Amino acid sequence: MNSLVLDKGAHPGRDDFGGGVPGKGRSAGLNRAALRTGTALALLLALAGNAARAADQAPAAEQAADKGAGLEEIDVQTILVTANRRLENAQRVGTSIDVVTGSDLVDRNVQNVYDLQYLTPSLQVTPQFGSGQPAYQIRGVGFNDYASNNAPAVGIYIDEVAYPVPFASSGAMFDVSRVEVLRGPQGTLYGRNTTGGAINYIMNKPTKEMTAGVAVQYGSFDAVTSDAFVSGPLNNKLAFRVAGQVQEGGAWQHNRDTGEALGDADRQALRALLDYDSGSNLRVGLNFHWSRDRSDAAGTYLLSPLTALNAKYPSQYPVYPADIARDATGWGTTPQFASEIGISPTTKPFSHIDTVGTSVRADWDFEFATLTDLASFDHATRQEYDNFDGSPRSTGDVYFDTRANVAANELRLTSTGDQDWHWVTGLYYANQVLHDRYATGYYELNGFDRNVTYGQTVNTGSAFGQVTYDLTDKLSLTGGLRLEYEKRELRDFGAFYVNNGVVTNPGNVVPYRDTDFLEPSGKAELQYRFTDDDMAYVSFSRGIKSGGFTAYNSNVAQTSTTPFKPETIFAYEIGNKLAVPEYHLRFNISAFYYDYRDQQVQSAVVNPLTGLVGSIINAPKSHLYGGEADFIWEPIKNLRINESLALAKGSFDEFSTIGTAVKVGGIYVGVPTNRVGETEFAPKFTSNGSVSYLWNLGDYGLTTDMSYSSRSTYNSIFGSLYNVAGYTLVDASVTLAPKDDRWSLKLFGKNIFDKRYDVTRNFFVAGNNIALAGKPATWGVRFSVTY
């Protein structure tokens, strides 16, 4: 057997799916999963049979491709990435970057986008209040917002298509070739401007050889995952790939009053790719993707006792003590609010997210450059009901009803060849149309509910470019520039108070508000190569994230004022990348300092009727600093050791918020709190690592793997009660497979020491303190076969 490597084909136990996903359980759920999986597999295998017959008619030379083409075979010293818009060794890219391969995702049993953070230091991915919308953060730079109308600080790209609506990216983890996580401001190479970084998902591509596979996974709480793929040529110019997955089960929480389970997944997804290669200078790729999610939402537990929050209604609502059990939660709402949003008062929280989209990419090769045109359209809907109060009481029942369309086109020209100049230049345009309704059940507090409705249009246009010039055979200089214009238009924004189905303020509507900006961003970098395997770099960059509107918990008076402003980061970074092939060692280190201006922070403002409510505001000045170090080492054949750690620390230099609200003359008045010196950026320390060993057993290989992820306490600007305590999670797996890798059988455990930890802590209204707990220990088995 070959020694361990860092991508597909690294050792027995890998498969071609590139990532797992949770499933649904209970006997009825298992039957539904089996039916859906059987139908999907039958369709895929039927396609495989037809494609195989077509492939048999193609010239043999056209079929002579490695199985899994499109996945780069790599080892410790050669991880290939496209971070600079061209395929190159990651060790020669002057950017702090983490690469998670498809086989890494399978080996570590990554179930969703939230699990990705446990493989990548500096990355945090949290569900806002336990909602279905992920909030991404890199090096402490992120954007916390459970509404859908604002851009993230971390750019999400799937096969180079930008996803500016965060909830639309929550189901991207299947049939993945690799994930590239770029730290620091991006914009001179990518379609949209960001301050935190970028996450690029690169999916498995069509192959020139016929191949297909299936995998089934069963785990704790009757979680079932079934996925399949088929890929190959249709003729000597066309190749296809179809991949799908079904996820069901996994409910691990329970209603503290009724015992009813919460947390079952119910998801299906499909991706179809068709690639055309003229054989000369033209290549065209068509991508169609679809997903359907009818899963339960996550539940929160009570950090502190929930008492009467309004003396007007003290006897109507029971007092709930603080929860002891981590899986305890509660839900329920008033008949009035249930009628407003079309559910029953006892309906379980749910997160229903559907996506459908397509993209077309065309590449024309010229003697000096490649011209690429990438056009895309995506449609996403979100219907989600959450209990942010963690109880049957009506203090934080929320409902999202969102529809979003995003059309985008990127045209870029990228240099080719080995000349001293390497450059890329391009134009980008995107149009985003969103319609949203956000309803909140506040009846216990003030005798009414609230409905916020609006439409928003975002038009973004930019010109960007980056050039690298080799000053000598060792020294290179890189410069990049971007000019971006964006306009956000808010239409028919209404904030209505509803009492027993009657709108009490029907005229409370702002017909039109807008905000726009025209801002430059850029990058300058100097890179020095001591040897082919040892390089150092120093860089400066300026990043921009657009401003916007707070579109939840708002009344018209707040929203019609000046919207929150764009944020800016001036980033300074230095790093070194070293590979020692003869010792099978790779070691990287980086350090950064961020000068942060107008940081966008999820905080609170005062509503005169209800007190503190969430709002996005700007912190005028803050700073961040830290660094990362990672190494991969194979000290002996078949043993791989991987370790990564990160430091991120910062504070506000100029910032005040409304910390409390008091009633004066029957209305709430805010009391300012000075936040200078405080932090809310990220855990100070994060680290993760793994040890894998491949045991040769004749015609079989047995891979044992143990990994961990650790993070320190995450401090909140709202006070120590909301600090998320640090924790360490340990996972383990054992995988058996033959040397030809045709099949594999894996037993795995996650959080095997059953560590109790929280993902987030917060409050939706003052006095109702809640937390979202992390999952307990889980165990499972996965079987995969590839043809």
Residue 328, both tokens: 């305890």
Q: What is the pLDDT of residue 722?
A: 87
> What are the counts of helices (DSSP H) followed by strands (DSSP E) for the chain?
6, 42
Candidates 285, 360, 270, 260; CA nearest to 36 is 270
Provide the pLDDT confidence category of residue 762 given band limits of 50, 70 and 90. confident
* Mean of pLDDT values over 145-166: 89
Beta bridge partners of residue 377, listed in sequence order: 358, 407
CA distances 197 to 98, 348, 417, 445, Å, are 11, 36, 28, 40
**Statement: residue 307 has pLDDT above 90:** no
| H/E run at residue 201 | strand 197-203
Query: Which amino acid is it at 24?
Result: K
Q: What is the pLDDT of residue 293?
A: 95
**Statement: residue 133 has pLDDT above 80:** yes
* Mean of pLDDT values over 68-91: 52
Residue of higher predicted confidence among 30 and 353: 353
Alpha helices (H) along 667-753? none
Q: Using an 8 Å Cβ cutoff, are 348 and 260 in contact? A: yes
Q: Using an 8 Å Cβ cutoff, are 555 and 541 in contact? A: no
**Statement: residue 383 has pLDDT above 80:** yes
Beta bridge partners of residue 512, listed in sequence order: 491
| H/E run at residue 291 | strand 282-293
Bridge-based pairing of strands 567-580 and 509-531 is: unpaired
Q: For the chain, first and last CA: distance in Å? A: 21
**Statement: residue 36 has pLDDT above 90:** no
Provide the pLDDT confidence category of residue 80 given band limits of 50, 70 and 90. low
- pTM comes to 0.87
What span, in angstroms and rounded, lies between the C-alpha atoms of 683 and 667?
37
Pick from 474-488, 596-610, 636-650: least confident? 596-610
Q: What is the pLDDT of residue 310?
A: 67
Q: What is the pLDDT of residue 410?
A: 96
Residue of higher predicted confidence among 313 and 242: 242
What span, in angstroms and rounded, lies between the C-alpha atoms of 445 and 609?
9
For the CA atoms of the chain, what is the radius of gyration? 26
Query: Which amino acid is it at 674?
Result: N
SS3 745: strand
* Mean of pLDDT values over 52-72: 34
Q: Looking at domain 26-786, does it have CATH number 2.60.40.10?
A: no
Provide the pLDDT confidence category of residue 108 given band limits of 50, 70 and 90. confident
| H/E run at residue 418 | none
Pick from 21-30, 67-76, 229-238: least confident? 67-76
Q: Which of 73-77, 112-116, 295-299 has the highest mean pLDDT?
A: 295-299
SS3 content of the chain, % helix, strand, coil (to 5): 10, 55, 35
Bridge-based pairing of strands 509-531 and 502-503 is: unpaired
> What b-and-e string marks burial along 39-71, b requiring 16 or more CB atoms within 10 Å of the CB?
ebbeebeebbeebbebbeebeeebbebebbbbb
What span, in angstroms and rounded, lies between the C-alpha atoms of 392 and 176?
40
Q: What is the pLDDT of residue 139?
A: 93
Q: Which residue has the tokens 């298992």?
A: 30
Residue 9, both tokens: 């084909």
What is the per-residue pLDDT across 387-439, written as a single tens digit (0 to 9) for each?
Answer: 988 888 888 899 999 999 999 999 999 998 777 888 999 999 999 999 999 99
What span, in angstroms and rounded, lies between the C-alpha atoms of 637 and 1?
9
Residue of higher predicted confidence among 434 and 18: 434
* Mean of pLDDT values over 739-756: 94
Q: Using an 8 Å Cβ cutoff, are 76 and 579 in contact? A: yes
SS3 105: helix
Instruction: Establish how many alpha carbons lie within 13 A of residue 386's alpha carbon, considering only the half-sphere containing its beta carbon.
Output: 31
Pick from 223-227, 261-265, 493-497, 630-634: least confident? 493-497
Contacts of 420 (CB under 8 A, 6+ apart): 469, 470
Instruction: Establish how many alpha carbons lie within 13 A of residue 645's alpha carbon, considering only the half-sphere containing its beta carbon.
Output: 6
Provide the pLDDT confidence category of residue 78 given band limits of 50, 70 and 90. low
Contacts of 698 (CB under 8 A, 6+ apart): none
| H/E run at residue 566 | none
**Statement: residue 69 has pLDDT above 60:** no
* Mean of pLDDT values over 618-623: 94
What span, in angstroms and rounded, lies between the C-alpha atoms of 322 and 304?
4
Residues above pLDDT 70, as percent of the chain: 86
SS3 12: coil
Contacts of 384 (CB under 8 A, 6+ apart): 131, 132, 297, 350, 351, 352, 353, 399, 400
DSSP per-residue string spanning 437-487: EEEEE-HHHHS-EEEEEEEEEEEEEEEEEEEEEESSSSEEEEEEEEEEEEE
| H/E run at residue 562 | none
* Mean of pLDDT values over 86-93: 74
* Mean of pLDDT values over 116-135: 84
Instruction: Establish how many alpha carbons lie within 13 A of residue 328's alpha carbon, considering only the half-sphere containing its beta carbon.
Output: 15
Mean pLDDT for all residues in the chain: 85
Provide the pLDDT confidence category of residue 27 given band limits of 50, 70 and 90. very low
Query: Which amino acid is it at 503?
Result: V
SS3 415: strand
Q: What is the pLDDT of residue 380?
A: 96
What span, in angstroms and rounded, lies between the C-alpha atoms of 646 and 626?
7
**Statement: residue 30 has pLDDT above 90:** no
Provide the pLDDT confidence category of residue 59 given band limits of 50, 70 and 90. very low
**Quick one: DSSP state of residue 287?**
E
Pick from 33-42, 48-57, 107-116, 519-528: least confident? 48-57
Residue of higher predicted confidence among 172 and 281: 281
CA distances 178 to 75, 102, 202, 495, 587, Å, are 14, 5, 5, 43, 20
Q: What is the pLDDT of residue 318?
A: 78
Alpha helices (H) along 365-465? 443-446
Provide the pLDDT confidence category of residue 84 given band limits of 50, 70 and 90. low
Q: What is the pLDDT of residue 85?
A: 62
Bridge-based pairing of strands 176-183 and 161-162 is: unpaired
**Statement: residue 271 has pLDDT above 50:** yes
Degrees (nearest 5) of the Cα angle 474, 476, 481?
Answer: 170
Q: What is the pLDDT of residue 557?
A: 62
> What b-and-e string marks burial along 659-687, b requiring 16 or more CB atoms within 10 Å of the CB?
bebeeeeeebebeebebeeebbbbbbbbb
Question: φ and ψ at 634, to 5 degrees?
Answer: -115, 85
Query: Which amino acid is it at 20?
Result: G
| H/E run at residue 103 | helix 102-107
What span, in angstroms and rounded, lies between the C-alpha atoms of 357 and 685?
38
**Statement: residue 643 has pLDDT above 60:** yes
What is the per-residue pLDDT across 160-210, written as a single tens digit (0 to 9) for each?
Answer: 999 999 888 876 689 999 999 999 998 888 778 899 999 999 999 999 999
Q: What is the pLDDT of residue 212?
A: 97
Burial of 625 (0-12, 13-18, 19+ CB in 10 A): middle
What span, in angstroms and rounded, lies between the C-alpha atoms of 345 and 393?
11
**Statement: residue 604 has pLDDT above 60:** yes
SS3 159: coil
Residues above pLDDT 90, as percent of the chain: 56
SS3 706: strand
Contacts of 245 (CB under 8 A, 6+ apart): 21, 174, 175, 225, 226, 227, 228, 267, 268, 269
DSSP per-residue string spanning 594-649: EEEEEEEEEEEEEETTTEEEEEEEEEEEEEEEEEEEEEEE-SSTTEEEEEEEEEEE
